[in-house]
Chains A and B, each alone.
Chain A
Amino acid sequence: MSVLVEARGLGKCYPRVFRRSDRLRALLALLAGRASGETTPVLQNIDLSVARGQSLGLIGDNGAGKSTLLKLLTGVLTPTHGSVRVNGRVGALLELGAGFHPEYSGRDNIAMSATLQGFSAEELNARLAEIIAFADIGHYIDEPVKHYSSGMVVRLGFAIVAATRPDLLITDEVLAVGDESFQKKCIRWMEEYLEQGGTLILVSHSMYHIQKLCRQAVWLRQGRMQACGDVFDVTQAYLAYHERKSAGEAAPGRNLEAVRGLEFHVRGMRVNGEEAEALPALEQGAALRVEATIASRDGRVPVVNVGIARADGTPVYGVSSDMDGVQPAPTLDGDFCIVLHFTELPLLPGSYTIRVHPLDSEGLRLFDTVERTLTIKGRSPEMGLVRLAHVWEHAAPLSRSRGE
């Protein structure tokens, strides 16, 4: 497979210009061939390689540098550090109405964009009808672009890019402006384009779109590459990060001294035999074994509660030993130990927290809390928290496949 896009050590900084004299100083420095003084980095050290036929999703918070990276790849911006090589024709849909002149009609802007893409007048004429049909904005095609709604602008922009059949298609979040039917049309077009061997780099905040269209993903965070790889792994890590973020500050740290004075406290917690806080990621449907050792001050038998919550705090499942009519058995050290088994964990891919709490013998008062973070990986595009047992009836096998 040939490499279509290659970026090495890519970085972009913006100069800090506050006073008027800064501009003049920057000008003189640049003319002398030196760097322009103080700068703010927005993108640092990006290494990226996209092979022909690949589809790459770019995700990250606002301001993470996604659009800057796209602009560097398309050559709109010049990198401050590193280099970009693109071995093919790029079609880009970067910003709403970028490259359109508001005073000119849709038709004029099509001609202008086609020239920018390097198309001759004959090639343009051959495709004009196709573009106008795809945009489907009626008589607005002859009206100045300033009278367009933002959806119409996107329609026109996408129609032009689609008609030029680029080797590499780069689209930023703009498609979200289109209405439902147009978005579907675009996604259908992109799927077809990918099937025919096209290459795609897509920025979206919709993980659904990213997972539907891309096989690879890159997560940018504060101008750096946080994660890169299979689309499901990266999007799940990103979503988990967001869930943790929206859960706010984590619960206050466990004060071991204070806990020791309580009637019960957790002496040890092992998940799948691991004592560590950070557990290796589990495959979807794998077995989970939670082992809790509880210290009892007065030698009374505790009730043990085990709960699973999504990283953002949404409870998924909770169960205590007394509900199932069991209790922890004493160990040789005078503690109490119990093990909870989930043979086939039905959790969907994502990040979760497992908590263990000891309760008093009546199961009324809750003492200590110990938690572990659990990551479930997998390629399942199902939605929600768990897979519910299900069967389809009156169904035929799917005829259209996504072609591997």
Chain B
Amino acid sequence: MLPDTSSLSTVNTMPTGRLAAMLALALQLARRDLRNRYLGSFSGGAWAFLQPLVQLAVYSFVFGYIFKQRLPGADAPGYVPFLIVVLWPWTAFSEALSRATTAIQDNASLIGKVALPRTALVLAPVMASFAIHGAGYIGLLLVMWLGGVGVLPAGLVLMLPALALLFLLALGLALLLSSLQVFVRDIAPALPQLLMLWMFLSPVFYGRYVMPESARPWFDLNPVSGFAEYLRFVLLGMPAPGLTAYVCSAVAVVLALGVGLFVFRRLQRHFEDFL
């Protein structure tokens, strides 16, 4: 009798079959999450697009009018496109992290009752966040391009690898944080504050060049800088980040995935004992 590769609880299934089953489950979970996130709300799915738009309006009002954020370079586009290009990926990233960190804890009713690949529980919210904000991002970029804001068409393709890497960075950190959260419950409450701090330390609302000369090289150490400046480079034609920034971002992705997977694998067999 041939081993059944569709089985989840079978020990001797082929790794590819297990991976496929895990992905299928994560997709199903993500789809359910998306469908139900806005199910109970009055305006339904419209919130998915409305909320970031409102957020954008607030931020551009606060930073564009109240704080009078200096416009980047004379030939560059205005502040709103400048903000959109980075704010959306950041929102996807930070939302993925904050949702995925409690993923194992929130699904305690599944763990210990149903046999399932546990990575899927973490992958699902990351996928859901990137799917919904990625769709909004691409939609907004297309609108900007059609509306004559200087979005470079080639950038629409060139940004995809950056988004994919950002996704992996989020996934790696999510695996790490979600498994630690099972043991030490202090991570989830601290995370929003840390993410806020990280956002303001990253060139999201401002460019690196508004900072004093001495502070600028330090931005290379923040993996988000490489992503933010690359996106502004390919989409808006702003100056590209240096090699150091690229290397730091790439190392961060590899490190996050490696450490995240290692810690998650080591701890996952003990989740049920500590939930």
Contacts and interface: CB of A to CB of B under 8 A. Distances in A.
Contacts of A74: 9, 115
A288 interface: no
A336 B11 CA distance: 69
Interface stretch (A27-35, A253-261, A379-387): A27-35
Interface string A325-343: 0000000000000000000
Contacts of A89: 4, 6-7, 10
Nearest to B114: A99
Interface string B17-37: 000010011001100100010
Contacts of B263: 31
A94 B113 contact: yes
Contacts of A108: 32
**Chain B interface residue bracket vs A:** 35 or more
A115 B25 contact: yes
Contacts of A94: 113-114
B70 interface: no
A48 interface: no
Interface in A34-88: 36, 71, 74-78, 84-88
**Chain A interface residue bracket vs B:** 35 or more
Contacts of A98: 109-110, 113-114
Contact of B115 (A15, A30, A75): A75
Contacts of B29: 112
B184 A76 contact: no
A271 to B, nearest CB: 50
A17 interface: yes
Across the A-B interface, give the 4 residue pairs with the lowest CB-CB distance, nearest first: A98-B113, A75-B9, A118-B6, A78-B269
16 contacts: A24-B183, A26-B270, A74-B9, A76-B9, A76-B112, A76-B115, A78-B272, A85-B11, A86-B11, A90-B115, A95-B113, A99-B110, A116-B25, A116-B115, A118-B24, A167-B4
Given A31-B266, A36-B270, A89-B7, 20 more contacts: A2-B1, A14-B273, A24-B183, A30-B267, A33-B266, A75-B8, A76-B9, A76-B114, A77-B272, A84-B11, A86-B9, A88-B4, A89-B10, A90-B7, A92-B115, A98-B110, A99-B113, A103-B36, A115-B24, A115-B25
